[in-house]
Structure 1
Amino acid sequence: MSENIRVRFAPSPTGPLHIGGIRTALFNYLFAKKHGGQFVLRIEDTDQNRYVEGAEDYIINALNWCKIPFDEGPGKNEKFGPYRQSERKHLYKQYADKLIAHGKAYYAFDTSEELNAHRKGHEVEGKTFIYNWHNRQKGRLVNSLVLSEEETKKKIESGEDYVIRFKSPQDETLHLNDIIRGNITIDTNVLDDKILFKSDGMPTYHLANIVDDHLMEITHVIRGEEWLPSLALHKLLYDAFDWNAPKFAHLPLILKPTGKGKLSKRDGDKLGFPVFPLEYKAPDGSVSKGYKEDGYFSDAVVNFLAFLGWNPGTEQEIFGLDQLVTDFDLAKVNKAGARFDPDKTKWFNHHYMQQQLDLDLAKQFKGSQLELADIDVNYIALVIGLIKERATFIKDFWGLSHFFFESPTDYDVKASKKAIKEGTSDILIKVSDIILGTDDFNVENLQANIKGWITTNEIGFGKVMMPLRLALVGALQGPDVFDIIYMIGKSETIERIKAFLQNISS
């Protein structure tokens, strides 16, 4: 692409950012970076009634955690600023007035009560009320198309509430193009005359969105499928202003794990997974889970989000951010909704767990576990190297490794019945002697000495290794027994065997 690519992510600060929003931001980011373009953040806060304090910071923090920071936005490279719509409201009235001057929009003074009465009247007749070409000039509705210029002016000057509506065309066929969905045909007779501006001085989403995209020189609008019904109006607005429209791409919905319906917070609450990137504390005190706080790596989140709607066309599933930038193509984004699979998200996290440095994981693990406060972080890192293959989250580490840091206080009953046989005490006493007699104390020598004794005396390996593991761990779990012995040391190993033998005898 030779043009200067500019895309924008334009969330409303009305609460936490759903992972569907992060997926939209990610696809915009990938597209911009692939083509050497700019990724813009614009805060669409025209609806001040729904504004939530702290939501903008949450959005920015979520983008940064996912490593997809914006190039331009509030407080950063404000070439086309300001980037909050509430700080741009002085711009929109002139564009609404321009549409009126060119016969593309009109003032409407209908009250909510009057419009509700029209709707109910239509419902009685089995019809749907649409404010557009078929009724806007028949006298039943109060607007500047039926009022004289003087009457209209008088109503406005008297402070009467009004809205400015777009005058949608009659008997036209719109031919639209979407990068993902292809050609779309719309009969303009089914479009309603959307409100663009209100007498309180604030634009609606539709007008502000178009004006801002134009002034910020946005070349591609990549947004969620829920905005597809607005595509016709937005294209008509571009035409009405005689502006070049950006190219549009509407991303598929993220579906519930069942594959039916849009993924919601309720689904996450029900099935125990987050639907927000970061934990969110609402003004009412309620807390929503976040992927970060639940122990997911941001690289894993980005990887699985990329596959919610996009497919590279190969069997490859693991993509770092740099490779996503290289391989991403809007032409490979699906039209159909993408089913969210909680188990697959864990699969991605498990993979990225294995890529982390043991020392980095050890620092995080130590910081999360009080029992490790006095333990050398380098020792913890060695332990993690032995057990992380079985872990999906850092919070799994303690259950997989506690016996490296503390002696067992009890022994699994079911495992004891399986491991303890006649002669077990004598076997463990001999194993203790072999361990004590191993001077060059390392895994290889321990393994050679103990396995050599087992083979020479033709003893079943299970008769030795099961009770030995039970003595060291308290259960029949954990990595290689010889690794455990080496890590906890000779004296600790002997003490644990002695404690186990006392337990057996009692």
Structure 2
Amino acid sequence: MTHTRTRFAPSPTGFIHLGNIRSALYPWAFARSTGGDFILRIEDTDVGRSTQAAVDVILEGMAWLGLDHDEGPFYQMQRMDRYKEVLLQLQAKGFVYPCYMGVEELDALRERQMAAKEKPRYDGTWRPAPGKVLPPIPSGVAPVLRFMTPQDGVVAWDDKVKGRVEFQNNELDDLVIARPAQAGEAVGTPTYNFCVVVDDIDMAITHVIRGDDHVNNTPRQIHIFRALGAEPPVYAHLPTVLNEQGEKLSKRNGAKPVTQYAKEGFLPDAMVNYLARLGWSHGDDEIFSRAQFLEWFSLDHLGKSAAQFDDAKLRWVNAQHLKAMPGSALAPLVAAHLAERALPTDARLERLCDLLKDRCDTTVALADWVSRFYTDASPDAASLAQHVTDAVRPALRALAQALQDCAWDKASIAAAIKQVLLDTGLKMPQLAMPVRLLVLGTVQTPSLDAVLELLPREKVLSLLSGA
């Protein structure tokens, strides 16, 4: 079996979002599940729009999600000499020709074609052919280089998502593969579709798993592969990820940088779980570990229709992963959030995480809950008036008295609460709600004995006695 080599090749022209990173997840998973290699390549030839900040988000986002690469990152701008070397080889083989049609002439041609209800495309004016007389070369015009696309037959491939895909060659015009050469250059700057093919050949890529916005590039790239004497890789073109309004997920449509989810308290394994299900499935399994995903992953189970991002579903998946984590693993994540708020932590933190995690969907929400144990409660006046009444105050003082001498553990605290309820005739909510309000500022908490056990005795006694 061929040694698998996949790649993720983002363009750093905008901050990478969940729709983009899914195009990294699947090739990473395929490489890992087959014992292959995963290569990271930064396609930064759009110099005017590429930014280092966007590169940083790509690298940080992949590191956070644990999508480790075996080789790279390679930067296309650092490989220009290699592209030009191969371009000269292609030109020597007769697959490339100079075209002197300027932008204005090309625009005029397209306008005439559209007026005649024809598909706008380059018409091959400068394409050499036996017996054809080319126009006189205009003075002072540096030509682009175009690739000689075959004019007959079809170009086809068996896509791992879309099945058989075919393009008629006569529907494809001659692609510009190098911009005009500047003074002192043998050839101009090569264009995207050419650079991609050279990279995929040099890096021995066996499988290209990418978004289906690249489908129209694929027939052109296959032609270049074959002109260079190489077989194209296996292609899998992934359906688009849509936002919650059914539009393509993009920065313009409100998509957030991947790194923002880390700041908002999402777990990397939960994100991998959620993203995996945006276009791939293993039966009805909704929640799975990273190890299970890699064990199950196959290109044969990639979905054929567009997936829709759903924030509520993402939060639900994150909550399931959060609940499954022990407090020892959650504590460092929560401690980092508390540090940002200048709040201290102590030996209680792991137990607090275990106690409170079931009511949270992110580590930020968990930190919100935990912070109540490290700050003074500030219940609102209306809630105090509703729950801390003259009728309940004697019971609060009685509870303070009972808690003063008991062992400070859950069982002893529960026994003290039970005795006060027996002595006063109150129901549990009548006592528990004002106690919760006084010690944590909210009437909704986990069981009262578990909460009180994790608060300092002196603080609890003071709050109950002074109510």
TM-score, normalization: structure 2?
Answer: 0.89
The Cα of 1:361 is off from its aligned counterpart by 3.5
Distance 1:351 1:124, change over 3 A: same
Quote the residue 2:197 is aligned against.
210
Pair 1:301 & 2:271 matched = yes
Distance 1:422 1:13, change over 3 A: closer
Quote the residue 1:365 is aligned against.
334
The Cα of 1:54 is off from its aligned counterpart by 4.1
**What amino acid is aligned across from residue 448 of structure 2 in structure 1?**
V
Q: Is the 8 A contact 1:359 1:377 kept in 2?
A: no
The Cα of 1:371 is off from its aligned counterpart by 9.8
Distance 1:401 1:41, change over 3 A: closer
Quote the residue 1:107 is aligned against.
98
Pair 1:267 & 2:253 matched = yes
**What amino acid is aligned across from residue 421 of structure 2 in structure 1?**
I
Quote the residue 1:441 is aligned against.
408
1:326-341 aligned at under 5 Å gives the runs 326-341=295-310
2:179 and 2:77 map into 1 onto residues whose CA distance is 14
1:349-360 aligned at under 5 Å gives the runs 349-360=318-329
The Cα of 1:199 is off from its aligned counterpart by 2.5
The Cα of 1:143 is off from its aligned counterpart by 5.0
Q: Is the 8 A contact 1:415 1:475 kept in 2?
A: no
Distance 1:324 1:125, change over 3 A: same
Quote the residue 1:257 is aligned against.
244
Quote the residue 2:430 is aligned against.
463
1:3-18 aligned at under 5 Å gives the runs 3-18=2-17
Q: Is the 8 A contact 1:412 1:474 kept in 2?
A: no
My pick for the range that moved more, 24-33 or 196-205, is 196-205
Quote the residue 1:96 is aligned against.
87
Distance 1:319 1:474, change over 3 A: closer
Quote the residue 2:46 is aligned against.
47
The Cα of 1:375 is off from its aligned counterpart by 4.1
1:473 and 1:485 map into 2 onto residues whose CA distance is 10
Distance 1:483 1:72, change over 3 A: same
1:467 and 1:8 map into 2 onto residues whose CA distance is 59
Q: Is the 8 A contact 1:366 1:373 kept in 2?
A: no
Pair 1:178 & 2:159 matched = yes
1:54 and 1:449 map into 2 onto residues whose CA distance is 58
1:403 and 1:101 map into 2 onto residues whose CA distance is 73
Pair 1:310 & 2:297 matched = no
The Cα of 1:443 is off from its aligned counterpart by 1.6
Quote the residue 1:77 is aligned against.
none
Distance 1:493 1:247, change over 3 A: same
Match of 2:115 among 109, 124, 130: 124
Q: Is the 8 A contact 2:19 2:250 kept in 1?
A: no
Q: Is the 8 A contact 1:362 1:377 kept in 2?
A: no
My pick for the range that moved more, 487-496 or 353-362, is 353-362
Q: Which runs of 4+ in 1 moved over 6 A?
A: none
Aligned length in residues: 460
Please list the CA deviations of residues 460-505 of structure 1 after superposition, one character each: whole Å capped at 9, or x if unmatched. Answer: 33332233333323331222212232222333222101222xxxxx
Q: Is the 8 A contact 1:366 1:377 kept in 2?
A: no
Quote the residue 2:180 is aligned against.
199
Q: Is the 8 A contact 1:20 1:254 kept in 2?
A: yes
1:88 and 1:401 map into 2 onto residues whose CA distance is 51
Distance 1:354 1:178, change over 3 A: same
TM-score, normalization: structure 1?
Answer: 0.83
Please list the CA deviations of residues 263-298 of structure 1 after superposition, one character each: whole Å capped at 9, or x if unmatched. Answer: 012333xxxxx53222xxxxxxxxxxx222222222
1:459-498 aligned at under 5 Å gives the runs 459-498=426-465
1:99 and 1:311 map into 2 onto residues whose CA distance is 42
Unaligned runs of 5+ in 1: 75-82, 269-273, 279-289, 501-506
My pick for the range that moved more, 65-74 or 460-469, is 460-469
Quote the residue 2:185 is aligned against.
none
**What amino acid is aligned across from residue 304 of structure 2 in structure 1?**
K
1:150 and 1:228 map into 2 onto residues whose CA distance is 34
Q: Is the 8 A contact 2:437 2:443 kept in 1?
A: yes
Q: Is the 8 A contact 2:127 2:148 kept in 1?
A: no
Pair 1:239 & 2:226 matched = yes
The Cα of 1:164 is off from its aligned counterpart by 1.6
Q: Is the 8 A contact 1:401 1:478 kept in 2?
A: no
**What amino acid is aligned across from residue 27 of structure 1 in structure 2?**
Y
Unaligned runs of 5+ in 2: 182-187
2:333 and 2:229 map into 1 onto residues whose CA distance is 56
Distance 1:381 1:416, change over 3 A: farther
Pair 1:58 & 2:57 matched = yes
